Structure 1
Amino acid sequence: MTQERTGELRRTWARFVGILTAVVRWVGTVFAAVLAIHVVLTIAAANPDNGITRFIAAWAEPLALGFQDLFMPADPMLEVLLNYGAAALFWLLASGLAARVLRALA
């Protein structure tokens, strides 16, 4: 294989990893945003029958992974804040870590 061809393959690989890294970061950010919006809607006592509130809640539930019942304070609003907030932080940290690992592969 020629040096020119090898250089082209490396650039292509680096471009692919760069795109993949950006996608991983965006997915983590979007997941964290959905969870944060769920927290805000819940704490602000948004109408639970509203379509937007139902849509966000439906997406937040599976994105919270096992964090939904991690903390059990007496105040239900604090419970939502702590549990879904922890899940949002998890997505930000996990996607950031995954992006760093991917960047190291480039």
Structure 2
Amino acid sequence: MTAPLSGVLPVGVSAVTGVAGSTNADAVTSTSNGDGFASVLASTFDKLQSTQNAADTLGAQAATGDLKDVHDYIIARTEASLATEMVVTFKNKAVEAFNEIMRMPV
């Protein structure tokens, strides 16, 4: 089983394996190399999309009867749901922080 949320919060958690065997240390390294917040955010959305695609593929296999263990689909769908919820929460907090900064007097 993979942990699709490794790229969502790259700071503060160490050596958590993620999609395709990458670790969040890779994300921290990319930010320290000057790639910045935008690249971490883009890679997070890419990982979210791949997690959702994997769950959709398993769902199609379950619907056609090709899936041997339906638990794989349930786990993948739950991971995709949690990843989506976490990304949306992260986005909401980022927008909230931006709005708070914009309200600061100059």
TM-score under structure 2 normalisation? 0.41
TM-score under structure 1 normalisation? 0.41
**Higher helix fraction (1 or 2):** 1
